[in-house]
Structure 1
Amino acid sequence: MRTLTLRAGARVAVVADQWRDAFGVVTRGRVQLELRDGEPGPVLGRDAGFWLHGTGVRALRNPGRRTARVRVATPSRPTLTPESERWRTDMDTTNDTGLVAASAAGRTRHTHRIRGLAGVGLVATLAAMVATTLAAALARAVGVDFEIPEGGETIPLAGFAVVTGFFSVVGVAIAAALLRWSARPAERFVWTAVTLTAISVVPPLLSGGDTATITALVALHLVPAAVMIPTLARSLRGRTD
């Protein structure tokens, strides 16, 4: 029995002879299978077992931030008895089944991670909507009229809740996409979300409103960001470690 260690982002080529009679179990982190055409395959989580012989998998990758470990068991065969020969035949005939089972396990774990992230995102979205609406009501109470000169319209409180909810859901969708396709989803999400937040404060600055309205609108863009970004980043880290 040996242990294969993969640091964050590392890739190890699969040598067919070394995996001929071997069975792997992920004991820490996550391991992604690289398929024969170079495309990314299923991501296997902790306790997932797999065969590689005869599957065409050409490499193992660590898509996470922390070191991953795979325990590889290879039976010793000093002599081939009828029983051991049967064991080898059975193993060869179940290689594809083992990989399919491992792939299914990886997909199931991934689905659970996405659902967990969506649940956290929903709660954070509701919190962001409430916080932004309360902040807008407080600003209006101290004299901010939220009037936009172009058209002479005043932004209603409900409008803040609707816009906050919409863009918060967009943020959750971005986080889910990064969890699915990025090796470092938390870092990339923070970078993306901060960039989009910075861009979002440009329209208030160009709105032509008075100083109080512009200041309040900029602050109201930062309130939901302060709720959503740390919450989703924490959730992403917890699902990739």
Structure 2
Amino acid sequence: MRTLALRGGARVAVVAAEWCDAFGVVTRGRVQLELRDGAPGPVLGRDAGFWLRGTGVRALRNPGRRTARVRIVTPGARTATCRSAHPCAGHRTMEDDMTSMNDTGLVAGPASGRARHAHRLRGLAGTGLVAALAAMTATTLAAALARAVGVDFEIPDGGEAIPLPGFAVVTGFFSVVGIVIAVALLRWSARPAERFVWTAVSLTAISLVPPFLSGANAATVIALLGLHLVAATVMIVTLARSLRARTA
């Protein structure tokens, strides 16, 4: 009997010979199965048991931040071996392959797992910042074009027109909020891309309400709605695509 410890964000490849006849039980945290094609599989919680023999699962991953632990039991103790009829024949079992330390466990990816996870988070944040700059540029140019064709962007309550730099500032602020949400979901969620799209679309829908309540003329309201959609499209598409690439 041994314990496999997966630190936050760590991933350990499944070697068929080692998992031949081995049974695992999640004793702490959550463990996600990575399927044969690299797609994310089910997430197993505490006390969930599983066999990997013949399933095609190629890796185990910890989708959370805290260390997850899997208790691994191999029937037949140290003398058990896989029979020649089994595809793992000729290899020693997990019990023989592990170290002689009794129940001290094997830590998967203690440093490399964290490093890869931190690299993914930094990569997502960098992609998000580039997208934010693109969204700021797009909304500012679109606002300038709308003003050129006669949209005054005047809000009755303030009595002043919204300046062009104001569009860039507001777009940049909410773009950063979107990046923070995406990074948080990548770190803590088992399905970050799907949840990000749902959250971002919901927040975008809410953001379309204020222009209708501003009291501005119809042209200004329509232009403001269009600018909201331009910024949201750039950020949601870019971040969702980046999240899917980093969880594949």
Q: Deviations over 1:163-199 (max 9, x none)?
A: 0001001100000000011111000000000000000
Q: CA RMSD in A?
A: 3.4
Structure number with higher helix proportion? 1
Measured in 2, the distance between the counterparts of 1:122 and 1:197 equals: 19
Segments of 5+ residues of structure 2 without an aligned counterpart are 1-16, 21-32, 36-40, 73-87
In structure 2, give the amino acid aligned to 1:217.
Answer: L
- Which residue does the alignment assign to 2:146? 139
* One-letter identity of the residue aligned with 1:31: R
Structure 1: 5+ residue stretches without partners: 19-26, 43-55, 60-71, 78-87
**1:6–1:237 Cα change, 3 Å:** closer
1:205-220 to structure 2, matched below 5 A, reads: 205-220=212-227
* 1:183-194 correspondence runs (5 A): 183-194=190-201
Aligned to 2:189: 182
Q: Are residues 138 and 150 of structure 1, via their aligned partners in 2, closer, same or farther at CA, if it must alter by over 3 Å? A: same
What's the TM-score once normalised by structure 2's chain length?
0.67
User: Would the aligned equivalents of 1:14 and 1:58 in 2 still touch at CA under 8 Å?
Assistant: no
Q: TM-score, normalised by structure 1?
A: 0.69
| Counterpart Cα distance in 2 of 1:33 and 1:173 | 18
Query: Is the Cα–Cα contact under 8 Å of residues 18 and 97 in structure 2 kept in the other structure?
Result: no
Cα separation, partners in 2 of 1:14 and 1:158, compared to 1, 3 Å: same
Q: Give the alignment partner of residue 49 of structure 2, picking from 3, 8, 13.
A: 13
8 Å contact from structure 2 (residues 192, 243) kept in 1: yes
Alignment of 1:115-134 (within 5 A): 115-134=122-141
1:196 alignment partner, one of 199, 203, 213? 203
2:100 pairs, out of 89, 92, 103, with: 92
Distance 1:183 1:149, change over 3 A: same
Q: Report what 1:84 is aligned to.
A: none
Residue 57 of structure 1 corresponds to 70
* Map of 2:112 onto structure 1: 105
Mapped contact 1:114–1:176 kept (Cα < 8 A): yes
Query: Residue 154 of structure 1 aligns with which residue?
Result: 161
* Aligned-pair CA distance for 1:95: 7.7
Is 1:31 paired with 2:45?
Answer: no
Residue in structure 1 matched with residue 28 of structure 2 by the alignment:
none
The residue identity in structure 2 corresponding to 1:134 is L
Report the equivalent of 1:171: 178
Q: Provide the aligned length of Structure 1 versus Structure 2.
A: 193
Q: Deviations over 1:114-157 (max 9, x none)?
A: 01101110110000000000000000000000000002021000
Q: Distance in 1 between matches of 2:205 and 2:156?
A: 23
> Structure 1: how far apart are the matches of 2:112 and 2:172?
33
3-state SS, counterpart of residue 150 of structure 2: coil
